Amino acid sequence: MKRVGVIGGGQLAWMMAPAAARLEIALIIQTPNATDPAVSIANETVLAPVADVAATAELAQRSDVITFENEFVDLPGLKQLEAQGVRFYPALSALQPLLDKWDQRSFLQHIGVPTPRFGAVQGDLTSEQLNAFGLPAVLKARRLGYDGQGTIVLKHLTDLPPIGSARTAEHWLLEEFVPFDCELAMMAARSINGEMVTYPVVETQQVNQVCQRVLVTAEVEPAVVEQMESIARLILAQLNYVGVMGIECFLTDDRQVLVNELAPRTHNSGHYSLDACVTSQFEQQLRAVCGLPLGSPALIHAGAVMVNLLGYEAATCDYAAQRHQLSQLPNAHLYWYGKTAARPGRKLGHVTVQIHLFKSTSENQQVRIKS
C-alpha cells in the first residue's frame, strides 16, 4: 500500500478519502487540530501546524511521498528535508514561485502569461504612490491570503488601510482593478512523466471576494477555452509541476484571459469534479503524486452547479435541518465538512447539483434540466 503524506487537514484532504480507499492509498495527515476535517478519515495523523518542519520530518518517516492541501508552509525548512531525500510532489522548486503573490505574478509575466497590471509597494504605501499607479486598484497581502482575506479594493485615495508595518512593501502587491466580464477557473494536472490533462473551464461567481458558486461549464466561446488550456499547459510544463493545480482568471470584455491566481493543490472551483467528472480532482492529485496514469477529466453529465455553503454567523450549530433539506434536492450531492465552528464567510460545506440532458421523444431535441 502506497503511503501519501498530506500537509494540511482541511476539507481538501478530507475529500481525498474515497479516492484513496479505491486506489489503496493510506493518507497520513499533518494538521494542527484533532477536530480538523481530515482527521476523521486519516489512516494516521501528525497533529502539528502545517508550517512545523519537525512535524513534516515525522510525516516523511511515515510516508512514501508528501503532497500539499495547504501552501502556507515553511519552504526554506522543507528544502532541508528535500535535500535529505524526502520526496515532495509538487517539488519545492515548483512551489517556490507560487507562495507569494508578487513572486507568482512575476513568474507569470516572465513566462509570458497575461495578468492584471501590477506594481510594487515602495516603503509605506502613500496616496502619492497610489495616485501614480491609478485608481481603482487592488491591494493584496503577498502571503497567507485566502477567500479574499488580505484583499482590499481601493476606489478612493482615502481607502488606504491604517498606517503600520502591515503597509510596507514586503507585505503587499498593488494591482489594477479589472472590470472583468466574468471570472473563470480551470483545474489542470501533470504527472511525473509529463502527461497533462485539463478539466473543463468553469465560471466562478464571487461576492465580497468569496466564491459563492461555480457554473460548469462556463458559457464562453471556444477561443477562450483554447486560451485557458494553453495557459494551463504552459504553466505546468514550465514549473515541471506534478499534481493538480487550480488556475483562476478574469475574462475581460475584449475576451482576453488574465490569470489572477494559481493554487498549487486541489481547489474549491474543482469540487464539482467529484460528481460530474470521470476522475475527480482529488483522485487526480493522488494519481499524479503516486506515479499512476492520470484519469480522464471528462464530464459525465451535461454540467453542474456547485454552491458553497458559507457560514453567516458565529455559532457551533451543525445545521442538521438545513442539510437534510439540501440533500433532498434532485441530483444534489451534499458535502458537509464537519467543522465544529461556523463563522461568517467560512466554508462549511458545498452542494453540487448535476445537470442532466435527455432527448425529448416528441421533438427529439436536447433539453437542459436545471434542478
Binding site for ligand ADP (CB under 6 A): 116, 138, 140, 145-151, 175-178, 183, 206, 209, 248, 260-261
CA-wise closest residue to 257 among 219, 229, 228? 228
Cα separation, 82 vs 360, whole angstroms? 58
Cα separation, 307 vs 371, whole angstroms? 13
Cα separation, 126 vs 135, whole angstroms? 13
Q: Which residue's entry shows cell 479589472?
A: 178
Cα separation, 227 vs 82, whole angstroms? 35
* Residue with smaller CB distance to ligand ADP, 22 or 155: 155
* CB of residue 173 to ligand ADP, shortest distance in Å: 9
* CB of residue 68 to ligand ADP, shortest distance in Å: 16
Amino acid at residue number 124: D
* Residue with smaller CB distance to ligand ADP, 7 or 251: 251
* CB of residue 148 to ligand ADP, shortest distance in Å: 5
Q: Which pairing describes strands 172-176 and 118-120: parallel, antiparallel, or unpaired?
A: antiparallel
* CB of residue 179 to ligand ADP, shortest distance in Å: 7
* Residue with smaller CB distance to ligand ADP, 189 or 263: 263
Torsion of CA 185, 189, 195, 199, to 10 degrees: -40
* Residue with smaller CB distance to ligand ADP, 31 or 260: 260
* Residue with smaller CB distance to ligand ADP, 98 or 326: 98
* CB of residue 136 to ligand ADP, shortest distance in Å: 8
* CB of residue 140 to ligand ADP, shortest distance in Å: 6
* Residue with smaller CB distance to ligand ADP, 146 or 319: 146
Cα separation, 135 vs 122, whole angstroms? 17
* CB of residue 251 to ligand ADP, shortest distance in Å: 12
299: which DSSP letter?
B
* Residue with smaller CB distance to ligand ADP, 69 or 283: 69
Answer for the pair 244, 266: CB distance below 8 angstroms, yes or no: yes
C-alpha cell at 200: 473543463
Is the bond preceding residue 37 a cis peptide, omega within 30 degrees?
Answer: no
